Amino acid sequence: MAAKHLANCIFCKIIKGDIPSYKLIETEFSFSFLDIGPLSRGHALVIPKYHAQKLHELPDEYLADAMPIAKKIVLALGEGAENYNILQNNGRLAHQEVDHVHFHVIPKPNAEEGLI
């Protein structure tokens, strides 16, 4: 399915380059970059180049492209990849703040930094 963007979505703007980001990996279907408020060093986001708020609204080709990118980011962390969380929130009650599907890659290098 063709890429779909929403004009006032901050992640769609990041994909288009209208908002700057620290880009990591980009493919035909996905874009990944560092989180602006990292929970630990290397906290990254993987987003589809298709505006959908929630995971179940995303076409499969976009969904399928995202996880290999998360895996590449984890592998690039090297030793830091021993402990990490992959997180994806859907809806306000589930702590989604940005209404464009995104997968968090959150390294957990020690007890203090990271998710929990």
Number of residues that bind Zn ion (CB under 5 A): 6
Give strand pairing partners of 110: none
Residue position matching structure tokens 């895996």: 71
84 binds ligand 5GP (CB under 6 A): no
| Number of continuous H segments (helices) and E segments (strands) in the chain | 2, 5
As a residue count, the chain comes to 116
DSSP secondary structure letters along 62-82: HHHHHHHHHHHHHHHTGGGGG
Neighbours of 33 (CB within 10 A): 20
Show the tokens assigned to 108.
């957990």
Q: Which does 60 bind (CB under 5 to 8 A by kind): Zn ion, ligand 5GP, none?
A: none
Among 89, 109, 113, 115, interactor with ligand 5GP by CB under 6 A: 89
Stretch that binds ligand 5GP, among 35-43, 51-59, 60-68, 70-78 (CB under 6 A): 35-43
19 binds ligand 5GP (CB under 6 A): yes
37 binds ligand 5GP (CB under 6 A): yes
Respond yes or no: is residue 43 known to be catalytic: no
Kindly list the residues in this chain that would bind Zn ion in the complex (CB under 5 A).
Answer: 6, 9, 11-12, 51, 100
